[in-house]
Amino acid sequence: MTSFDWALKKISKLASFTTAKLVLEIGAGSFTRSAKIASCYPDKQVFAPDFSRSNQAKNTIASYSGLDNFNPITFDCRENIFSENLFDFSFSIAVGEHIRELDVFLANLSKSLKPLGSYYFIQSPFWSSYKGHHYKHWRPEVVKVFGGYKHLIYDYYEMEKYLRATDLPSSVDVEDALFAIYRRGDLSRLSISATRSIIEHSSFSIKLWEPILDECYDPVAAKTVCDLKPVDINPGDLLFKGVIAELVNCKTLF
């Protein structure tokens, strides 16, 4: 278990995971987490879909090709290719913010999960957080350019005007930034409260909901966002960058 990252360490302690026989990772990315689960838990069948395969993903698949219980798959998680009532447990890490049709995804996942099956996810950053624009948000000089929740205050054309009038670092390309923030197809642009509302109107019930405070929260800039109200975001949304949650599939209880 020592090779588990922080997310897998949390997952491995869940009762819903411990008893699961069929596990589904949503948006497997590099496939590393699913491969490690399959390696450490030979009694579990692990299915790992993602819509594309990076070189790192291909290397992971090759390295764990000898595992009969590791099943990497290429497909869009908003679709559904699995039988109904198949999986006991599903999870995703930093994927939910990239699912634009969250309601469709949850409906399809509900079909694939068994009644009372669990969906555990860690999601960050939400669109409503300081780095929610998702454009190279791990780079300090880029965060500075988009600081003050500009992605919430400006529309596409206002942002373009601002960027073209600003002395930008070499890591910021105006066209790339505009596309990534406003027109990128795999970004949900949902706040934390909007996400929760969609979940509450799905066939899942919320077993665990632990918001993650945003260490970059700017109260002065947040007040500007709330005063201008350029987007449908509650003031409390700005306090959080993410959430740790577990949902229970209650489709048979309705």
Closest by Cα among 33, 53, 54, 52 to 44: 33
Would you give the distance in Å from CA 207 to the centre of its chain?
A: 18
Collect all residues with Cβ–Cβ distance below 8 Å to 113 and sequence separation of at least 6. Answer: 24, 85, 86, 87, 88, 90, 119, 249
Mean pLDDT (whole number) for 193-203: 95
Of 185-189, 225-229, 246-250, where does mean pLDDT reach its minimum? 225-229
Strand order from edge to edge, sheet including 70-74:
70-74, 45-50, 22-25, 87-93, 113-123, 240-249, 204-213
pLDDT of 52 higher than 90: no
State yes or no: pLDDT of 254 exceeds 60: no
- In this predicted structure, the answer to whether residue 185 has a pLDDT above a threshold of 60 is yes
pLDDT in tens, 73-118: 887 776 777 889 999 999 999 999 989 899 999 999 999 999 999 9
pLDDT at 79: 72
Residues 241, 124: Cα–Cα separation, whole Å: 6
Spell out the domain ranges in the chain: 6-127+188-214+237-253, 140-183
* Predicted pLDDT of residue 231: 63
pTM assigned to the model: 0.92
Tokens of residue 127, six digits: 């669109």
Q: Name the token pair of 86.
A: 């198949």
Percent of the chain predicted with pLDDT > 70 = 96
Higher pLDDT, 43 or 1: 43
Instruction: pLDDT band for 249, please (50, 70, 90 cuts).
Output: very high
pLDDT at 1 over 70: no
Tell me what the pLDDT averaged over the chain comes to.
92
- Residue 59 pLDDT exceeds 80: yes
CATH 3.40.50.150 is the classification of domain 6-127+188-214+237-253: yes
Q: Give the Å distances, CA to CA, from 12 to 46, 49, 78.
A: 14, 20, 26
Query: Per-residue confidence at 14, pLDDT binned at 50, 70, 90?
Result: very high
Lowest mean pLDDT among 1-5, 143-147, 166-170: 1-5
Q: Is the pLDDT of residue 253 over 60?
A: no
> What is the pLDDT at residue 55?
85
Query: Whole-angstrom Cα distance, residue 60 to residue 35?
Result: 8
